[in-house]
Chain A
Amino acid sequence: MRLECNNLNFTYPDSDVPVIKSLSFSMETPGFNAVFGPSGVGKTSLARLIAKMESNFKGNIDTRGMDTILYSYNLERLPGWSSTGNHLDRVTPEGKQPLKDRLIDIFELKNILPARFSKLSMGQQNRINLVRYLLQDFSLLIMDESLANVDEKLRESIILSIKNLFADKMFLYISHNLMEVSGFCRDILVFGKPSGNKGCSIIQGRDYKKGYQPDKEALDRTMLEIMNAI
């Protein structure tokens, strides 16, 4: 399993300004990785390129050993004609019923399954959306702000459980939460500010697992390193 970009350049068809310029990085083993940076630096564009939702780029994206790449994002919706529970049942592949039940417990969704999607809060909507992605077969799941509006405690529990349940999969977590990214992610691709000419760099996060003992100094060091890279 390998995600590697070499000299990647991308400009949207209706624009003259490149969103991604000469980006090169590689992430080689399964795990919970992150893309971090200020708004508008090209995190979502990179995610869409990796998920093959955009073509027309220059350079090379190597996704060797990854058969299925999924891209989930904040503000996705489920159709409104049926309850979220029904929708979840319909998209659950055969044999994944126990996993579905487990995820429903972890994501604390049991009480909201009879409700329609439009009746849920934004955090509940994002959680139910992420669960349906986790139920699919995938090698790499890109989570673009997929846990936005979820409270911090539940978010931590969800991330740690995902790392535990899907240890053989690769994740690319896009978030603006510095502490969360520094603590829970392994390889962190940091985009520098476009005006700062710093480019991109990979920083090692703390990669906390279930039952971790927080090391405040090490976490502060990682956070400082990320801030310096921006």
Chain B
Amino acid sequence: MLFRRIYQFLIVYSIGLLFLLLIKSVLSLSDYVIPGVGLIIETFHNVFDTYFFDVMNTMSVTVLGQCVSIAMAFGVGIAGRRSSWMGSFIKVTAYNIQAYPIVALAPIIFILLGDGFLSRLLIASMICYFPLLLSVLGIMATPVVDIEHFYIITGRMRWQLEVKIRAFENLSKLTTVISGSATLAMAGTIVAEFIAANAGIGYSIRIALYQSNLAGILIALFMIGIVISIYQGCLETLGEQIKTRWSVSKRGNI
């Protein structure tokens, strides 16, 4: 899973890079517009250390932002799963708010909270939160009738059991959504850094952009891709392990 993610990224990145080099050679563009392979390698050596720590900085905000958004999505999803007035209100509100582009709110967050860690975390978790919330709400609001019936009719149903049944029955969907939301959290953090932050790989890309340093941007993209592939691969592997441990009998089949 982990290695598949990495080589899939390497293939896509190589195709993109080759396409740029093809344009460079067909249109005879200078290194100033599209850098050559030599310049890219040289830039890689120059910026690797700086960009590595920048990506790690961004990654730490991403992971934290994703954890916050997962906790929030499950909290609201569980509260909104009921077909009561409150449940319907939460669902409708969530659907309406998620239709609004959260990135557009980023300037307000920077004005109110400044360009530090908290702004990046808030934007990352908000961008990651709504798609997660919609999936969790959908899963938590859909009864698994053929399992839940017994507990309901015998008066044994508790909200914890209901949530456990629905989460277990949709484990594959949940792990896919959570690992997929890592990309959103990373994108949210980078966007936040790109707009106004003073740290992270997004901030470094912004500097490279002002210097028209396409080689630097390509290196930054490469490092972002590798790190997010590893992170997603780890999440998927973790999801698989949870599924295996939770759902497969250790005592064999009948």
A-side interface residues toward B, CB under 8 Å? Answer: 51, 53, 70-73, 75-81, 83, 91, 111-112, 114-116, 118-121, 124, 129, 132-133, 136
Contacts and interface: CB of A to CB of B under 8 A. Distances in A.
Contacts of A76: 146-147, 149-150
Interface residues of B, number: 18
A91 B150 CA distance: 10
Contacts of B153: 51, 53, 70-71
A83 B251 contact: yes
Contacts of B168: 79-81
A151 to B, nearest CB: 16
A42 to B, nearest CB: 19
Interface string B75-94: 00000000000000000000
Contacts of B252: 114-115
B146 A77 contact: yes
B251 A115 contact: yes
Contact of A91 (B149, B156, B164, B254): B156
A77 B164 CA distance: 15
Contact of A119 (B146, B246, B253): B253
B249 interface: yes
B154 A136 contact: yes
A78 B254 contact: no
Interface in B239-254: 246-249, 251-254
Summarize B's interface: helix, strand, loop or mixed. Answer: helix
Interface of B: 146-147, 149-150, 153-154, 156, 164-165, 168, 246-249, 251-254
A79 B165 CA distance: 7
Q: Kindly list the 4 A-B residue pairs having the minimum CB-CB distance in the complex, ordered from nearest.
A: A114-B251, A115-B254, A116-B249, A119-B253
B147 A115 contact: no
B147 A120 contact: no
Contacts of A116: 247-249
Contacts of A121: 254
A81 B246 contact: yes
Contacts of B253: 115, 119
| Residue of A75, A80, A83 contacting most chain B CB atoms (<10 Å) | A80
B249 A115 contact: yes
Given A71-B153, A91-B156, 6 more contacts: A80-B247, A91-B150, A91-B154, A114-B251, A115-B253, A120-B254
A119 B154 contact: no
A111 B251 CA distance: 12
A119 B150 CA distance: 20
| Residue of B146, B164, B246, B252 contacting most chain A CB atoms (<10 Å) | B146
B154 A70 contact: yes
A73 B168 CA distance: 22
Given A115-B249, A115-B251, A119-B254, A79 B147 contact: yes
